[in-house]
């Protein structure tokens, strides 16, 4: 429902309409089996949908088994994966008018790892480790296995894997898809000069380094319906000297826009654990603002935006068009309701939960809220 604040204004992207500008960012749950969602995913996404964010982005979902970050990550590369995600989307859409997007990913050299609560390090052979590949044969860190450099056959196979996953995503019923070219995963590995030392047409200057990501995006846009939005996620800086830079991010996003990409989620980092990232509230907003200003692309800001007033301010200043929140939603799945209360806006409540609206429940005034 539209409210009185910028955060609660609707947003149309192609034929997709968001009831507000609040997005649940993709957050890996490391709870899949053979790439298929389990009961955890159903409660997780269903619970997040109840308070009516404009869009939920399903976590990084691998386009091939070897593209999974861990053995417990979601995938969309088999009939079983497709059937499981279709059931998940059908279920979550019963809980309101939230749009459901899917982030498609290949982890590249950061694949074949343990879940975070088991250390997030590379799998051992006893744990079922699998070979990884990347833009160049450069390991993530010195104590990680070196990936193979992707050759012509690998690149062709990877393009087809993204295309096949997108075709499946359309059958599943996702409202939007997002191509993950951030956080040090495969497409980001091509973009950054720190991980791409190739001497062929896919390396060297930015034009070469972004060639393969753009080939993937071009191929995906052809098979994804013209009325549905296509987004990307980008790390606008590696936070390391000599790495992928904000200037290059602007050029890359502009090239993506020319290929039919509709919006960008602006994040940063992830390529190397050596990055020194100044994590403060809204620390990536200026990166998003610059990309929006210089490319004209619809832009989503993300990164420690947990306060409703900060989210509202970012939109009011024209620094972004919508806002994504990650751990803030894990901490408070009803963030949308509490933000609406703080900003004096209207929010969606399912009829089963109408009784907790502040005007109907005196206890609403006793919680901490999001005022900051």
Instruction: Work out how many domains the chain is built from and give that number.
Output: 1
pLDDT for the residue 362: 84
Q: State residue 95 phi and psi, 5-degree precision.
A: -95, 5
**Does residue 3 belong to any structural domain of this protein?**
no
The domain containing residue 291 runs over which residues? 11-366
Distance CA 177, CA 16 (A): 12
**Does residue 106 belong to any structural domain of this protein?**
yes
Task: Provide the Cα torsion 299, 304, 306, 311; round to 10°.
Answer: -30
Q: Are 135 and 150 in contact (CB under 8 A)?
A: yes
Distance CA 5, CA 14 (A): 23
Count of residues for the chain?
372
What b-and-e string marks burial along 199-214, b requiring 16 or more CB atoms within 10 Å of the CB? eeebbeebebbbbbbb
pLDDT for the residue 264: 98
The closest of 104, 23, 22 to 59, measured between CA atoms, is 104
The closest of 370, 329, 250 to 26, measured between CA atoms, is 329
**Does residue 33 belong to any structural domain of this protein?**
yes
Distance CA 108, CA 261 (A): 22
Over its C-alpha atoms, the chain yields an Rg (Å, rounded) of 20
**Does residue 4 belong to any structural domain of this protein?**
no
**Does residue 2 belong to any structural domain of this protein?**
no
Catalytic residue status for 185: yes
In degrees, to the nearest 5, what angle opens at C-alpha 302 toward C-alphas 297 and 303?
145
**Does residue 6 belong to any structural domain of this protein?**
no
Catalytic residue, candidates 45, 140, 185, 202:
185
The closest of 238, 249, 314 to 282, measured between CA atoms, is 314
**Does residue 371 belong to any structural domain of this protein?**
no
Q: What is the CATH number of the domain that holds 212?
A: 3.20.20.70
What b-and-e string marks burial along 162-179, b requiring 16 or more CB atoms within 10 Å of the CB? bbebbebbeebebbbbbb
* Ranges in the chain, pLDDT < 70: 1-3, 366-372
pLDDT for the residue 1: 39
124's CB contacts (< 8 A; 6+ apart) are: none
Q: CA of 20: how far to CAs of 9, 15, 73, 110, 226, in Å? A: 5, 15, 29, 34, 23
**Does residue 258 belong to any structural domain of this protein?**
yes
Angle of the 152-172 helix axis to the 211-223 helix axis, nearest 10: 30
pLDDT for the residue 367: 61
Pair of tokens at residue 159: 């393009």
| Number of neighbouring beta carbons within 10 Å of residue 354 | 11
């Amino acid at each position: 429902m539209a409210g009185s604040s910028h955060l609660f204004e609707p947003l149309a992207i192609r034929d997709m309409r968001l009831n507000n500008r609040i997005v649940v960012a993709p957050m890996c749950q490391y709870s899949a089996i053979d790439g298929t969602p389990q009961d955890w995913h159903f409660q997780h996404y269903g619970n997040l949908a109840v308070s009516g964010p404009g869009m939920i982005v399903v976590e990084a979902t691998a386009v091939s088994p070897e593209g999974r970050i861990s053995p417990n990550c979601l995938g969309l590369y088999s009939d079983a994966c497709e059937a499981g995600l279709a059931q998940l989307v059908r279920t979550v859409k019963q809980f309101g008018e939230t749009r459901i997007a899917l982030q498609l990913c290949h982890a590249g050299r950061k694949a074949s790892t343990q879940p975070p609560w088991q250390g997030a390090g590379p799998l051992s052979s006893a744990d079922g480790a699998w070979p990884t590949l990347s833009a160049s044969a450069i390991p993530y860190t010195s104590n990680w296995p070196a990936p193979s450099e992707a050759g012509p056959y690998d690149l062709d196979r990877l393009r087809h894997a993204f295309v096949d996953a997108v075709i499946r995503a359309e059958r599943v019923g996702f409202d939007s898809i997002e191509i993950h070219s951030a956080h040090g995963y495969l497409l980001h590995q091509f973009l950054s000069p720190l991980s791409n030392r190739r001497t062929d047409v896919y390396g060297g200057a930015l034009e070469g380094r972004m060639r393969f990501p753009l080939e993937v995006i071009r191929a995906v846009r052809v098979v994804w319906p013209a009325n549905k939005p296509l987004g990307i996620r980008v790390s606008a800086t590696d936070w390391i000297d000599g790495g992928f830079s904000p200037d290059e991010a602007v050029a890359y996003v502009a090239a993506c826009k020319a290929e039919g990409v509709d919006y960008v989620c602006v994040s940063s980092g992830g390529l190397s654990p050596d990055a020194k990232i100044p994590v403060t509230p809204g620390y990536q907003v200026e990166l998003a603002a610059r990309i929006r200003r210089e490319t004209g692309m619809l832009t989503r800001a993300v990164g420690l935006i947990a306060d409703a007033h900060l989210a509202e301010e970012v939109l009011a200043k024209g620094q972004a068009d919508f806002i994504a929140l990650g751990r803030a939603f894990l901490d408070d799945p009803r963030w949308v309701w509490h933000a609406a209360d703080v900003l004096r806006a209207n929010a969606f409540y399912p009829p089963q939960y109408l009784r907790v609206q502040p005007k109907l429940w005196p206890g609403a005034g006793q919680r901490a809220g999001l005022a900051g």
